[in-house]
Amino acid sequence: MTVAGDNGAPVPGVDARHAREGLSTAEVRERTAAGRINSVPTATSRTVGEIVQANVFTLFNGVVGGCFILLLVLGQWRDALFGLSAISNSLIGIIQEYRAKRLLDQLAILHAARSTVVRNGARETISSEELVPDELVVLNAGDQVTADLVLLDGNPLEVDESLLTGESEPVPKQGGAVLLSGSLILAGSGRATVLRVGPDTFAYGLAAEARRFSLVTSEIRRGLEKVFAVITWLLLPTALLLTNAQMQEQGGWAGAMASGRWVPAAVGSVAGIMAMIPLGLLLMTSVAFAVGGLRLARQKVLIQELAAVEVLARVDVLCLDKTGTLSSGSIVFDAVHDAGTVPVPGWRQALEWFGSNADASSTAAAIGKAFPVQVPAQEQDLVPFSSARKWSSVTFAAGSAAAGTWILGAPDAVLHAPGCATAHGKAAALAATGLRTLALVYLPAPLPPDAAGAGLPPDLVPVLLLAFRESIRQDAASTLDYFRRQGVTVKIISGDDPRTVGALARGVGFGTGVACDARRLPQDPVELEETVEAHSLFGSVTPSQKRDLIQALRRRGHTVAMTGDGVNDVLALKEADLGIAMDSASPATKAVARLVLLDGRFERLPAVVDEGRRAISNIERVSLVFLSKTVYATIISVVSGILLLAFPFLPRQLSALDGLTIGLPAFFLALQPGGQRYAPGFLRRSLAFAVPAGICTGLCVLAVSGYAQTWGGYSEESAQSAATMTLGLVAAWILVVASRPLHPTKVLILAGMYSGLVLLFTVPVAQDFFRVDWPPPGLLILSTSVAAAGCVAIEVVGRFTRRPSIPGHQGGLGPLTLEAAAREREGGTAGRSDGPAST
């Protein structure tokens, strides 16, 4: 016989011998030798070597590494402490990307499965990877389809294709139908021949684009890249200018080289160059994200990429797949409805019998929960359910409470008799609301022997209509309400029938419950953008349309998050700014998603928002300090180079100040709780404070250092100590301004910073190691006076550039629990206001 696929394309002929005996050993070996097996390549776009190269061999690492090696060669290891920060940054980047690579390499649409095949006339079980084209596969209920198959003539099957299409309704398949890889056999048994294997399968086609490596879109990452790009352009000319100044300070190029004084000149140049690079900012950003990941891990939320912690905090559109996200994917009994006739006694016993076999289908299980029974009535005859007939029946013997024949099936299949018009109309009205509807009809006598093939008799009596709905997650309504109150637009994008989508949306209090039919979506990109902006519910959406809708939203300037659990969601999850997978998701979906809700609790998302706000708030606060340092270091380096002044610091002195006024305090600030609702413009807000603050700091240091070097006649050590003290006091006040509003923990951090500055100039070991001492009295008074003036100037800058806190503004859910969300909805949660500056 010859089999044709669903699309009408020719399928390899299947003769009677092959349908009975399958392939021979020689035929299997021939196909295997040709590489025609059901395995797929797993390599991603970057190898381990490429990952290491990308994270190690960068311009900044080249500069840092060169300076680090130079100081070690010169024996100035005490001034080379900055190398540890560069090494940490590279390691974090390598580990993060390698982890993502492993997840993508393990991307698999199908669970590890085995298949029953017929070879040489005998059945055997093999790994799904060993399947070859034309293989004869035996299918039974519960089996997963592991390659694209063509069903042979025989009993029809009920197939679940929800992972591929998003449609939760079982799909009937007759002989000649194509079964797609990733489908699940719900009912029936039969044989099929393998049509496509490996990379040619439908499931692999969906996964191919998802396997492409990409980083999550992070505004913080983009902002830092812009800062580093500017520094890159400034680095070389500033380095040349500063090096020339240091050599001139040591008696000119020739004199310095001849006398060996070029060594301190080189050390001064390295100090200026390294001060310009905000190495610690990268490290603190990674620390803040990592801590967020650990906190969410305790809440059963897996972070697959650190920067994903940030993204949901700035999402303004959240797209939800219906099945597995808002609903559990299972159906529950809704209600019994009058069929327009007088109920026939015994209907309850009939429903108890239909529900007693919960393994038959999800519908039977739902009936069984609604009409439980310990021992069902004994049947005299029965006709099992068939997707071709769309009904099943049971006959009870005369004398029983439910004597006669009871038929349960689709309204279109069992309500076709003239006396069923009223019941059919009621069933259609229920279906229009999105409810799944079945009809129970009655026949006083047994069914005719040919009823299963020839059809039901015309004298059936409608008894009841049964309505079913999808099981809605208990946390769905409250979580959607949270996002609406936070100004996040929620859209439901599902492969289910629009009526079903609308019914579920009404069940969670979502709008009018009228869904847009994706089969009528416009093809023009601009019209599609307008449509997706105007509607919030979409049904009958294909996997490629989900991706197109996400792209349209992003073209409109939205930051989009997408949740899903099926393979049909993979393309959309990959395209979204942030993909979120549920615990029930396929392996492919989990591998592509940036966040995975390990316990499937939709209510976890507000906790992720809160953690993202905390991370952004703390990173922005830390960035104020680091970027201020970059600004004042650049100014000091450039002015010193132009005026031919010695650079005011040794690298080790800057390392000490960085640790006391930036590094250690920033580390603890990056762990602080809370944060306001995020507003775009992270880099603009940071620079609005950092640039004037950095200019003030740089001018203070240059004033003290210039006086000490040029007019005061002080020694090099005294000038460096005075400059170190001035910078320490002013940089400390930058941290004070950036830390506001203050609370006891922050006050403790700041107190520790000032104590460290005192110890730096007091403890002999620290004085000797960092080459600092208390400046002479006159220079000490000048240093503290200039520093005080600088602190006043920075205070003024902070008043004009830092956003005041918003009283009562909700900065997240606080404790990551649903109870906290409930309190917040009731207005009992006080808003926190220690977030970053924003407009």
Beta-carbon contacts of 339 under 8 Å, excluding residues fewer than 6 positions away, are 422, 423, 426, 439, 440, 462, 463, 464, 465
The region, left, alpha or beta by phi > 0 then psi within -120 to 50, assigned to residue 6 is alpha
Token pair in block for residue 779: 């220079």
Q: Which residues contact 591 (CB under 8 A, 6 or more apart)?
A: 103, 104, 106, 107, 108, 210
Going by C-alpha positions, the residue among 289, 333, 329 that lies closest to residue 472 is: 329
Using an 8 Å Cβ cutoff, are 541 and 569 in contact?
no
Question: In this structure, are residues 439 and 465 in contact, taking their beta carbons and an 8 Å threshold?
Answer: yes
Neighbours of 765 (CB within 10 A): 8
For residue 328, give Cα distances in angstroms to 19, 565, 615: 39, 11, 31
Going by the DSSP 8-state scheme, the letter that residue 661 receives in this structure is I
Interstrand relation of 122-127 and 436-443 (parallel, antiparallel or unpaired)? unpaired
* Beta pairing, strands 516-517 & 327-338: unpaired
Specify the residue for token string 């289908």: 361
- Please state, in angstroms and as integers, the Cα–Cα distance from residue 101 to each residue in 106, 206, 214, 222, 741, following that order: 9, 18, 10, 21, 41
Burial 776-788 (b: 16+ CB within 10 A, else e): beebeebbbebbe
What is the DSSP secondary structure assignment for residue 419, as one 8-state letter?
A: G
- Catalogue the active-site residues: 321
Please say whether the beta carbons of 149 and 133 come within 8 A.
no
CB within 8 A of 787, min separation 6: which ones?
700, 725, 726, 729, 730
Give the tokens for residue 330.
């299972």
Residue 531's contacts (CB-CB under 8 Å, 6 or more residues apart) are 516, 521, 522
338: which strand partners? 464
CA 82 to chain centre: 34
Six-digit token string for 343 = 């109920």
Task: For residue 590, report the phi and psi dihedrals to the nearest 5 degrees.
Answer: -65, -35
Nearest partner of 691 among 631, 634, 622, 735, judged by Cα:
631
**Hey, what's the torsion of the CAs at 17, 22, 28, 31, to 10 degrees?**
80
The encoded tokens of residue 651 equal 């690298």
In 3D space, the residue among 288, 277, 281, 248 whose CA is nearest the CA of residue 265 turns out to be 248
Torsion, CA 600, CA 603, CA 607, CA 609, rounded to 10: 100
**One-letter amino acid of 123:** R
DSSP 668-697: HHTT----PPP-S-HHHHHHHHHHHHHHHH
